[in-house]
Amino acid sequence: MAFVEIRQIEGDHIAVITLNRPEAANALSKSLLDQLNTIINKINTDNSIYCAIITGAGEKAFCAGADLKERRGMSDDEVIEAVQYIGKTIAAIENMRIPVIAAMNGVAFGGGLELALACDIRVADHTAKMGLTETSLAIIPGAGGTQRLPRLIGLGQAKRLIYLAQPIQAQHAYEIGLVEELAVQQNAYAVALEIAKNISKNGPIALKQAKAAIDKGIQADITTGLAIEHLCYKETIPTSDRLEGLEAFKEKRKPVYQGK
């Protein structure tokens, strides 16, 4: 059974990944994670894809996090292994070379929000709810939440959300910078698709290098970060796309980039 679906939007260089377990609020079962990793690997080797969107099937849930029903009966070691697998999969999303957008079409709790935190941009329906609720279950976020959340919204806000373990509304999430776009007139997927189309109009090599410069630089001091930026910039210089961008600007037309 396909617990994760992928489709490519022809002509726009966009891959749409859909978590497809709506009856289980798109929870992260082992089978779903296996399929998601296969799709991530497929996208990573496809140079025709410039941007990806991750969303959930149905209208109620983006992803409710770990599959707690599947976890019943597991030994302590098996639980630790299961959490590590979720964390490795989420890290694989974060490490995709192309920009990744989370279209949060419903609730995103625990591992579901951790998955969204690994994406580059988060778009949420105005009715969505999200939170890292693990401490209410006497555990802590174990798939990157304690690390990615404070880097995104600041130490105090992150501690507040994790300690309280209470879901927040999308509007609140937008106000504290947890999501970058709030979908009001359209659903989250429609807004995410529009963003993805605009991203994919730009140079694909430049997009990859910009992501690398940001993600690697943010983990370093400013001097090292600037050196990383310089190295990534140099990667764009010998490309045909850079020359195409200059020609298109000169001729006042839209550039046609080929990722070369």
| Residues recognised as catalytic | 66, 111, 114, 134
Rg for the chain, CA atoms, rounded: 19
- Give 23's strand partners: none
The dihedral built from the CA positions of residue 137, 138, 143 and 149, taken in this order, carries a sign that is: positive
Nearest to 22 by CA among 62, 67, 68: 62
Query: Does residue 102 contact residue 56 with C-beta atoms inside 8 Å?
Result: no
CA 81 vs. chain centroid, Å, equals 23
Q: Determine the Cα–Cα distance for residues 76 and 70; give it in Å rounded to an integer.
A: 14
Q: Determine the Cα–Cα distance for residues 208 and 229; give it in Å rounded to an integer.
A: 12
Q: Determine the Cα–Cα distance for residues 204 and 47; give it in Å rounded to an integer.
A: 9
Count CB neighbours of 14 within 10 A: 22
Q: Determine the Cα–Cα distance for residues 130 and 217; give it in Å rounded to an integer.
A: 28
